[in-house]
Amino acid sequence: MSIGEKLKIELTALSQFSEKLLETKEGLDAPIEEARQKAKDELDRLEKVREQRQQDVETCEVNVTTCEASVSACQSSLQNCLAYIGEDGQRPSCSGEATALRQAEADLRQAEIELHLAEHALRETEAHIATFQSQAEYTINSLLSKKEAISTSIDKARQELGNRIEKTIQYIKANDIAIPLTPGQDAHGGEYRKAKKNLYRRAAAGDFPNLPSHIRGWMEQEVNRGGGYYRSPGGGRNRGSNYDIGHRVRHLNVAENLVPENIDMNRARPGRRREALNNF
């Protein structure tokens, strides 16, 4: 096996590992979003319970007010009955009014008990909501802290991988080492398309901080779809802003080895390698 073949295998493995790390980093948001959604769903449910408890309190308050009015009316009726003296000087029996008053007072006591229970249930629900919100915030903040720590470790590992890959690519170029084409693969076939897609994905994820913003925007648009030309905001291809993706080292199809190239400038320079963008 030639040194070019060995280096290609090594760089491909390192690039794939970096891609796996990026996938892991992108997946760190999933448990946080899941926790947030579960918290939201539970808070929505508890809010409906609180609204029902509030309605129960309001209903009980109306019942107490109604019962108080009934007691007042029964008291007035009983007092009128007790104060009444017929033409014959006899006082009427007021047992019916007394019974009605006792029942009204019993109804009032029951209404007051129900109001007390409803208010207690409302307070418990509100306390539960406050406790749940606090617990949910603690859980989410803990997940965010863990994500930040893991994300930092991943970024550091990917940076070290990137540096190693870059040094190896520079070594290949400096020593003019030939990288063989993978048997059965076209120079711009599946390997190249996959590497180009990974380049877009990494750019969209924030890699390559020196990448011009309009090129990053193009790559973000190209994530998970075909293409390869920068499309102007107005639609169509802007002849002044057409770009494609080329290799720094031929036949090495890893994202780190690819670079945006200005097509129009290179069309004006036949027979020469396309000009790579600066600061990438």
Considering the domain architecture, whether residues 149 and 188 belong to the same structural domain is answered as no
Asked if residue 206 belongs to a domain, the reply is: yes
| Number of domains forming the structure of the chain | 2
Determine, yes or no, domain membership for 32. Answer: yes
Would you state the structure tokens that stand for residue 42, as one six-digit string? 């539970």
Instruction: Give residue 71's domain range.
Output: 27-163
Q: CA torsion 192→195→196→197, rounded to 10°?
A: 120
pLDDT of residue 242: 63
| Domain match, 131 and 223 both | no
Q: Are 78 and 93 in contact (CB under 8 A)?
A: no
Q: Are residues 36 and 113 in the same domain?
A: yes
123 found inside a domain: yes
What residues contact residue 10 under an 8 Å CB cut-off, 6+ apart?
168
Task: Please report the pLDDT score of residue 202 as a whole number.
Answer: 85
Please report the pLDDT score of residue 225 as a whole number: 61
The structure's pTM equals 0.68
Residue 264: per-residue pLDDT: 57
219: three-class secondary structure by DSSP = helix
pLDDT (tens, 9 = 90+) of the chain, 280 residues, equals: 899 999 999 999 999 999 999 999 989 999 999 999 999 999 999 999 999 999 999 999 999 999 999 999 999 999 999 888 877 778 888 899 999 999 999 999 999 999 999 999 999 999 999 999 999 999 999 999 999 999 999 999 999 999 999 999 999 999 999 998 887 777 677 888 889 888 888 888 888 777 778 777 777 777 756 554 444 444 444 444 467 788 889 899 999 998 887 765 454 444 444 444 544 5
Same-domain check for residues 199 and 254: yes
CATH of the domain at 57: 1.10.287
